[in-house]
Amino acid sequence: DAMVIQNPRYQVTQFGKPVTLSCSQTLNHNVMYWYQQKSSQAPKLLFHYYDKDFNNEADTPDNFQSRRPNTSFCFLDIRSPGLGDAAMYLCATSSDSTSGSADTQYFGPGTRLTVL
Partner 1 sequence: EDQVTQSPEALRLQEGESSSLNCSYTVSGLRGLFWYRQDPGKGPEFLFTLYSAGEEKEKERLKATLTKKESFLHITAPKPEDSATYLCAVQPLRDTPLVFGKGTRLSVIA
Q: Under the rule (CB under 8 A), what is the footprint of partner 1?
A: 4, 6, 40-43, 45, 48, 50, 57, 88, 90, 92, 100-110, 112
Whole-angstrom distance, CA of residue 17 vs CA of residue 15: 6
Cβ 68 vs Cβ 54: under 8 Å? yes
CB of residue 87 vs partner 1: minimum separation in angstroms?
Answer: 12
Whole-angstrom distance, CA of residue 72 vs CA of residue 1: 15
Q: In 10 A of CB 95, how many CB atoms?
A: 13
CB of residue 15 vs partner 1: minimum separation in angstroms?
Answer: 23
Sheet holding 73-78, edge to edge: 4-7, 19-25, 73-78, 64-67
Report how far Cα 35 is from the mean position of its chain's Cα atoms.
Answer: 5
CB of residue 108 vs partner 1: minimum separation in angstroms?
Answer: 5
CB of residue 101 vs partner 1: minimum separation in angstroms?
Answer: 5
Task: Pick the closer one to partner 1 by CB: 81 or 108.
Answer: 108
Task: Pick the closer one to partner 1 by CB: 6 or 115.
Answer: 6
Task: Pick the closer one to partner 1 by CB: 16 or 61.
Answer: 61
Task: Pick the closer one to partner 1 by CB: 81 or 110.
Answer: 110
